[in-house]
A and B are shown apart, each in its own frame.
Chain A
Amino acid sequence: MRLKDRIALVIGGARGIGAGIAERFVEEGASIVLADREASAGAAMAARLGGHFVSVDVAKKADVEGAVGAALQRHGRLDILVQNAGIFPWTLIENIEPEEWDSVLAVNLKGTYLAARAALAPMKARNYGRMIFTSSITGPRVTSPGHGHYSASKAGINGFIKAAALEFAGYGITVNGVEPGNILTEGVKAGRSAAFIKSMEDMIPLGRLGSPRDVANAVLFLASDDASYITGTTIVVDGGQTLPEGADFRLNPS
């Protein structure tokens, strides 16, 4: 049990990657508080995992503080913070209105800063903490049309991870992130043909899309004692997708 008796808050845990993280944490002995904007899905997931649910809009300071407060009230401390909530509308830059830009940055980037700030005081008080943020390969490494705001928000998270790592290091808190590639979540599966999914797989050296559990395992590592000397960095979980210049690596005769 690699997270025995640890208290974790997972924001954006109702489904997909966040739910995978919460589930993996529970398997390894942690108690979780699960927070999400989607109350019914979030409450159901929390109930399934034996955790507590809090409804939050991660872009709102009071909501995020309330989620941290709920963890403290129930468990008396907070050891691990995961901020995974994110939105990814598809819009070309020429059509992104300021309101849409602001909403993406508010959830993905401002939400990350608000979560870090809210969790800081209780972690600082105990001189221990693990913060793990879900970034993406989209932004920090690569991008595609329609992801202007999303890319900016995720690249922003990587910069924030370094800054927070530096400022919190003296309090025994490490700050890291994961950069998932194409993960086969319900959202990705919906509306895509098998042929299109196959074309996505062909671009990935490991030959498949990722699963929420693949990402959860990397987050678990960063939350565990094995990662004590790691701070201010990210782990790319993409099956090698961002390595080759193009999909022609499969022409390799080996």
Chain B
Amino acid sequence: MTREGRLHNRVSLVTGAARGIGLAAARALAQEGARVMMCDVDADVLQIAADELLKDGLRVQAARADVANRDSMVRAIEATVAAWGQLDVLVSNAAIGDDTPFESLSPERWHKVMSVNLDSVLYGAQAAMPYLRRSASASIINVASIQGLRGQPNSMAYATAKAAVVNLTRCMAVDFGPLGIRVNAVAPGYIDTRMALMHGDVHEHQTDWFQDVFIKHGRLPLRRPGKADDVAGPILFLASDDSRYVTGHVLVVDGGLTCTY
């Protein structure tokens, strides 16, 4: 590769990097020259994913981390800085899906979803802050969801956590702007990842209902669910200097879903 990548000399940490959007983002950032610490709670799958990227000549390492645990995130970030001496880009992507109906939404489940999907974004930023302050091109990218912008059936915990991620992004952007740290979010729509698997291992995008309403009748304007790579490009944009005057923005990546009803 003769071309200098858009993230040349940058160091990034991506959570939830064992699969899906996190893995696609880790690959995209590394392909543009970044050194990437891939983190996930699922250490075995993470190592296999990291080995794949290493085999392709990309500069990555893997570190098991539980994003809901602040000490665990501090350790992952310390490991990143120990390996490469700096941290410039934090991608807070790790999350769990949830479609528990209101009647059965227990305090334990509610707190679990808030902890993994929301607390993690705060903890990651706090742990990364000492290093991001020293970076000349610091960028935090939080993976929210269009569910955080709309009301969705059986999504009280998930959608509320994602809505909070949206506004946490805005608040952090205002607080960190004077420090030269940008904070943005992506809000993906229907993306083909493991999170779209429903109970009984049926893939939501393969159901007759989804195919009929969203594809055949065009409720989803681009008429296809997104791929993880479709979200990695926007994350790369927000990580790079191409978005150097963009902060506090929630970039919708949904094939046009939310421009209709």
Give the B-binding residues of A (Cβ under 8 A). 161-162, 165-166, 169-170, 174, 181, 204-207, 210-211, 214-215, 217-218, 220-221, 224-233, 235-240, 242-244, 249-250, 252, 254
Contact status of A243 and B248, CB under 8 A, knowing A205-B178, A225-B233, A249-B174: yes
**Chain B residue with minimal CB distance to A224?**
B233
Which of B48-56, B117-125, B215-223 is near enough to bind chain A? Answer: B215-223
B259 touches A231 (CB 8 A): yes
Q: Does B256 contact A (CB under 8 A)?
A: yes
| Chain B, range 234-261, C-beta contacts under 8 Å to A | 234, 236-237, 241-249, 251-256, 258-260
The 4 A-B residue pairs with the shortest CB-CB distance, nearest first, are: A205-B177, A226-B233, A232-B259, A229-B230
Please tell me which one of the listed residues B173, B175, B233, B245 contacts residue A211 in the complex, with CB atoms under 8 A apart.
Answer: B245
Contact status of A210 and B252, CB under 8 A, knowing A230-B234, A252-B175: no
B259 touches A207 (CB 8 A): no
- Known: A214-B246, A235-B251, A238-B246; 16 extra A-B contacts, CB below 8 A, are A161-B259, A162-B260, A169-B221, A205-B177, A205-B178, A205-B248, A226-B234, A226-B237, A227-B233, A229-B231, A230-B234, A231-B222, A231-B255, A237-B246, A242-B248, A243-B173
B236 touches A226 (CB 8 A): yes
Please tell me which one of the listed residues A210, A221, A229 contacts residue B242 in the complex, with CB atoms under 8 A apart.
Answer: A221
Distance in angstroms between the alpha carbons of A170 and B221 in the assembled complex = 7
Chain A contacts for B174, CB-based, 8 A: 205, 240, 243-244, 249, 252
A-B contact pairs, 5 of them (CB 8 A): A205-B248, A207-B178, A225-B233, A243-B170, A243-B247
Contact status of A218 and B247, CB under 8 A, knowing A166-B221, A230-B234: no
Chain A contacts for B260, CB-based, 8 A: 162, 166, 232
Q: Does B5 contact A (CB under 8 A)?
A: no
Shortest Cβ gap from B253 to chain A (Å): 5
A249 touches B175 (CB 8 A): yes
Q: Does B179 contact A (CB under 8 A)?
A: yes
Chain B contacts for A205, CB-based, 8 A: 173-174, 176-178, 247-248
Shortest Cβ gap from B214 to chain A (Å): 12
Q: Does B226 contact A (CB under 8 A)?
A: yes
Contact status of A214 and B245, CB under 8 A, knowing A169-B222, A239-B177, A249-B174: yes
Please tell me which one of the listed residues B173, B176, B221 contacts residue A232 in the complex, with CB atoms under 8 A apart.
Answer: B221
A227 touches B245 (CB 8 A): no
- What sequence of 0s and 1s flags, for each residue 167-203 of chain B, a beta carbon within 8 Å of any chain A beta carbon? 0001001111111101000000000000000000000
B233 touches A236 (CB 8 A): no
Distance in angstroms between the alpha carbons of A249 and B177 in the assembled complex = 10
Pick from B222, B242, B245 the residue with the most CB of A within 10 Å: B245
Chain A contacts for B236, CB-based, 8 A: 226
Chain A contacts for B253, CB-based, 8 A: 229-230
A206 touches B177 (CB 8 A): yes
Chain B contacts for A166, CB-based, 8 A: 221, 256, 259-260
A240 touches B237 (CB 8 A): no
Distance in angstroms between the alpha carbons of A240 and B177 in the assembled complex = 8
Chain A contacts for B230, CB-based, 8 A: 228-229
Chain A contacts for B254, CB-based, 8 A: 229-230, 233
Contact status of A229 and B222, CB under 8 A, knowing A218-B243, A240-B177, A243-B173: yes
Chain A contacts for B247, CB-based, 8 A: 205-206, 239-240, 243
**Chain B residue with minimal CB distance to A180?**
B245
**Chain A residue with minimal CB distance to B244?**
A214
Distance in angstroms between the alpha carbons of A244 and B176 in the assembled complex = 12
Distance in angstroms between the alpha carbons of A214 and B242 in the assembled complex = 7
